Structure 1
């Protein structure tokens, strides 16, 4: 209870401070009441959603929207507060100047300037509108990103071989069947040779995938569909009544993946074969730093793989590549990961800028990277979690074409 009281007090103070800009900018009372109403609705709904029936770290769809709306209001207030605080510093200095150097020798704060409040409101409307757009449209704004990677030792028969990667489905967050059907069709339109899914099929429990498994079973790839588990797939964020229930949940998720048509690799490997040429496809369980499960076992996964084989590794968390894979005795030509979602928020202009706050947490957070002659692609994710939207970092379908360097 105390934490909610503290939260409401801070929220109220910040909201009241931001409200001053609105009062300065306009005398239209209904706008004042609208602001107050939206602010109250956002915080009341948030407190209700996160204090009633909340178990473990499970976030329902209604909870995620409550968080999203509150985040939008707080972003609006924060920009206004930064703007107003900067103006208040100038007003305070002007008041000091008047007291010590003016004729009246009194400390008088100059009035707020209306045009500055209008500018502040305009700037604050940008993140507010962007976050609302991200919830309404951005979360299903699927993008196909295509890359071509060349290797000296790619087997000849695999020159031009095309891979589609998806990651972080998070089916428990979906709320639009038609948009998901569109995305599945978009994946199939790529007509890739193989489809690789790099983990986090659900948010928390296997049942979240039940309404969507028929749609996902329509995914096509002539050389097969392969998958690995992500940190959310294990059910670690649910307060289970027993270990047996948790294990049964994971078993059910594995069965659902099988029904969809995925060959789930649990520290295991397969070979993609073309005549006498082959590629080793290696899949490990989740391995991540920062408190995440470390079940991935490269040695076990490559028990049937030769050191000189051309290798593609599926590992959900890119921190695995950074801390374990690139320094391993085996050379993993290409690693496919996800996990970061690109934080679902950032700025990307191809060829110009790629930025998200997630870069302060993960060194490799979105797109293609190369270290020690080895590549990784960090997929930005198919779905969304927590904030029920995306701004600037759109849901991704990755298409990678392998090329023989001498033939490229």
Structure 2
């Protein structure tokens, strides 16, 4: 009889602890982690990178999904963190907004504080394309002295070497034109900015990519602690969820990004500023 009471008691304690734990976890995911900015500093070894470009620093920000009333402080902190690392280049890889294009201008006012020695480059995200055409974002970028690449390439010179930067349209809300992106490319290293990471598998076989930078997945937005498994995957973001991947001589890095879609929750997947240092083999 006493064993039965103990069993019921233990079961009730377990249920109570589970409920309280779930409430605590949700509160953390809802109120704490979405505003907890993290800095990821990572070396990316590129087999074909010229030795002169060893040490080039690229800062990546992505998936802002900006809401002025809740995100301005987070984005301002991200801008300050990027500038503190004095990057050579800054890549902004899409989803500046979620639905309303009215928030794009206030976001660009905050991002106008970014500083890079050799330029700041942005590309379309799927949410951006569902709201406005590329020209809308290009104009906003030009107004603050940044370059917006939609199915276009841009060559820059740094440290006596050339680096070719390509920027695609969103594959989900637009159309990727690889031929236009690589038009004029000679044989220099290629930094490819693509919002949706899985496009990597379609571009890489026919075009040189030394490093592709992507977002889109939010790293899963909520992940299983320690294991890192992301229960929810998004279209065009199933093969590369978060972090660095290698395919032959090409690399891709997918950032967790800054914002959220749906409920404003993150768990074991905090907002990220990525500071990537290129290394030659």
Tell whether the structures are fold-level matches, with TM greater than 0.5.
Answer: yes
Partner of 1:193: 88
Q: Greater relative contact order: 1 or 2 (C-alpha under 8 angstroms, separation 6 or more)?
A: 2
Q: Does the C-alpha gap of structure 1 residues 274 and 357 become closer, same or farther in structure 2, counting only changes over 3 Å?
A: same
Residue 173 and residue 371 in structure 1: after superposition, are their counterparts in 2 closer, same or farther (change >3 A)? farther
Aligned position for 1:304:
184
1:317 aligns with 2:193: no
Larger radius of gyration between Structure 1 and Structure 2: 1
TM-aligned CA deviation for residue 176 of structure 1? 4.5
Greater fraction strand: 2
How do residues 45-194 of structure 1 correspond to structure 2 at under 5 angstroms? 113-172=8-67, 175-194=70-89
Q: Distance in 2 between matches of 1:256 and 1:229?
A: 13
Q: Is the 8 Å Cα contact of residues 206 and 253 (structure 1) preserved in structure 2?
A: no
**Cα pair distance change 1:355/1:342, threshold 3 Å:** same
**Contact 2:48–2:210, Cα closer than 8 Å, also in 1:** no
Give the match for residue 271 of structure 1: 155
TM-score relative to the length of structure 2: 0.90
Distance of 2:265 and 2:144 partners within structure 1: 26
CA contact (8 A) 2:122 2:147 kept: yes
Q: What RMSD, in angstroms, separates the aligned Cα atoms of the two structures? A: 2.3
User: TM-score if structure 1 supplies the norm length?
Assistant: 0.63
Task: In structure 2, list runs of 5 or more residues that go unmatched.
Answer: none
Q: CA shift at 1:252, angstroms?
A: 3.4
Q: What SS is found at the alignment partner of 2:156?
A: strand
- Residue by residue over 1:205-253, the C-alpha shift from the partner in whole angstroms, topping out at 9 and shown as x without a partner, is 32112333222110111111001000000135xxxxxxxxx55xx5433
Distance 1:177 1:375 in 2: 32
Offset from partner CA, 1:53-104 (integer Å, 9 cap, x none): xxxxxxxxxxxxxxxxxxxxxxxxxxxxxxxxxxxxxxxxxxxxxxxxxxxx
- Whose helix proportion is higher, 1 or 2? 1
What is the DSSP-based 3-state SS (H/G/I as helix, E as strand, rest coil) of the residue aligned with 1:358?
Answer: coil
Shift of 1:138: 0.6
Correspondence for 1:233: 128
SS at match of 2:232: helix
What whole-Å deviation, never above 9, does each CA across 1:298-327 have from its counterpart, x for those lacking one? 111111112x321110000011113x0232
Q: For residue 359 of structure 1, report the CA deviation from its aligned partner.
A: 5.5
In 2, Cα distance between equivalents of 1:348 and 1:174: 30
Other structure's SS at 2:70 match: coil
Question: Structure 1 177/206 Cα, relative in aligned 2: closer, same or farther at 3 Å?
Answer: same
Where in structure 1 do 4 or more consecutive aligned residues deviate above 6 Å?
none
Corresponding residue number in structure 1 for 2:168? 284
Q: Does 1:327 align with 2:205?
A: yes
The 1:341–1:174 alpha-carbon spacing in structure 2 relative to 1, beyond 3 Å, is farther
Cα drift, residue 383 of structure 1? 1.2
Within 2, Cα distance between the matches of 1:151 and 1:194? Answer: 17
- Structure 1 unpaired stretches of 5+: 1-109, 237-245
Number of the residue aligned with 1:355 = 229
Find the aligned partners of 1:179 and 1:359 in 2 and give their Cα distance: 25
Partner SS state of residue 355, structure 1: coil
Compared CA separation, residues 325 and 358, structure 1 to 2 (3 A):
farther
Structure 1 residue 173: Cα displacement: 7.0
